[in-house]
Structure 1
Amino acid sequence: MKFSKDIKRYTDYSGKPAIIMLLTQQGLWALLQYRFFNWIYTSSLPKILKWPILGIGVLKLKGIEVLTGITIPYSATIGEGFYIGHHSGIIINAGAIIGKNCNISQGVTIGVSGRGDKRGIPVIGDYVYIGANATVAGKINIGDKAVIGANSLVVTDVAAGTTVVGVPAVKVSNNDSADYIL
């Protein structure tokens, strides 16, 4: 189950029991709600059951957004082992695709941008680290094990295993995310 792998990432980082993490980590609160309603969204339940439950989901996710400052729509696709380092100011577009074992920090936006055929939403690979207040926007691909530095604006593809920083973000090294992700 994806949520159990999310919890494991939190306990691995902190060394604290899962129950403590569930009671104290706003990122896990948001992920729990997201995982449940994403499961409903992707299930084969009859529409007569699915849509009323998702209506409740919209309200519950809005409540989590107000409480934690984390927006994760149930229609986003997020791989297992997702880790939100700090809560608040996190916005993930409803059409975003995020791979497994990714870390994001506070203030991160993953959203739509661009013009014409360049307009779209990012696809983020596995084991990607996104630093505080970074924005990743547009019809771009972020390669596996990439690192996006704090306060960066990423609007072009990022090669796997590289580090980018700046506005707009540019490659600064071939260092991958191994030192950032457990």
Structure 2
Amino acid sequence: MTMQACECYDPLVKGLLATGVRNHADFASALAALMGRKLGDHSVAVSALSELVAEAYRADPSIVYASAADLVAIRERDPACPDFVTPFLFFKGYHAVQSYRVANWLWRAGRRHLALHLQSRASELFAVDIHPAARLGQRILFDHGTGIVVGETCIIEDDVSILQGVTLGGTGKHSGDRHPKVCRGVLIGAGAKVLGNIQLGEGAKVGAGSIVLENVPAFTTVVGNPARKVGTRHSGMPALTMDQILPPVDYII
């Protein structure tokens, strides 16, 4: 049954759609209200959080553009996504990335304790921990989202897809630039750990459960613990196709 069909029969869904979508003049106001409802608590009220998000959108409209682009990416890549309303209202991977976008704006503006508060709230609510100083592009898909960790100096470029349980982390107590750089079009499978100041080249694919400790060349598939190259160099962007099939290989994770 489609969301439109459900609306005809279920008054609770009617109210949900009205509160989440129809009562708002545009995408930015609807998203600001949604983020406020999700992130507000006894420390920072829902109304104050909604206004904070709206302030960020007014100050930097590129955040709204990136948020809309993320939504389009989910609709195009996720077979479980039947429309735009579903991820907007219900997908916590999407909500976590949009929480990060506001936290990052706060971080860059020097409002770092408030940025860290949003990071903490998003981690509690969505089980996704993105440091507000990390740098994320647009058209980002965090599929399912649960257990994804993105470190402080991590960079994720445009058109990247990451599945649940992925860590983009450091290798110890090093300071400075210490987290992975994920180039455009990369697909990282569920449970993979990418550690250290290393680069996943454009269009790379990381198999589920892999431990990646070294640079991965562009358009290359790696898998295993420690991860190693398998198959031949491909030409497409696996993040866009969500193709997680690995070439025939005898490997142990």
Counterpart position of 2:40: none
Counterpart position of 1:22: 88
Aligned-partner Cα distance in 2 for 1:126–1:71: 21
Q: 1:114: Cα distance to partner?
A: 6.4
Aligned-partner Cα distance in 1 for 2:168–2:192: 9
Deviation string 1:46-86 (CA, Å, 9 cap, x unpaired) is: xxxx42xx422322221211121100111100111110111
Q: Secondary structure at the match of 2:237?
A: helix
What residue ranges of structure 2 are gaps of 5+ in the alignment?
A: 1-64, 242-253
For residues 29-178 of structure 1, what are the structure 2 equivalents within 5 Å?
A: 29-42=95-108, 45=109, 50-51=110-111, 54-113=112-171, 120-173=178-231, 174-175=233-234, 178=237
Q: 1:128: Cα distance to partner?
A: 0.3
Q: 1:177: Cα distance to partner?
A: 5.3
Q: 1:133: Cα distance to partner?
A: 0.3
C-alpha contact 1:154 1:167 (8 A) present in aligned 2: yes
Residue range with higher mean Cα deviation, 30-39 or 55-64: 55-64
Q: Which has the higher contact order (CA 8 A, sep 6+)?
A: 1
Q: 1:29 to 1:11 in 2, by over 3 A?
A: same
Percent sequence identity over matched residues?
29
Residue range with higher mean Cα deviation, 74-83 or 8-17: 8-17
Q: 1:26 to 1:150 in 2, by over 3 A?
A: same
2:75 counterpart letter in structure 1: T
Q: 1:139: Cα distance to partner?
A: 1.8
After TM superposition, the runs of 4+ consecutive aligned structure 1 residues lying more than 6 A away are none
Question: For this pair of structures, how many residues does the alignment match?
Answer: 173
Q: Which has the larger radius of gyration?
A: 2
Q: 1:180: Cα distance to partner?
A: 4.4
Q: 1:176 to 1:68 in 2, by over 3 A?
A: farther
More helix by share: 2
Q: 1:180 to 1:2 in 2, by over 3 A?
A: closer
Counterpart position of 1:11: 75
Q: 1:58 to 1:132 in 2, by over 3 A?
A: same
With normalisation by structure 2, the TM-score equals 0.63
Cα RMSD, aligned residues only: 2.2
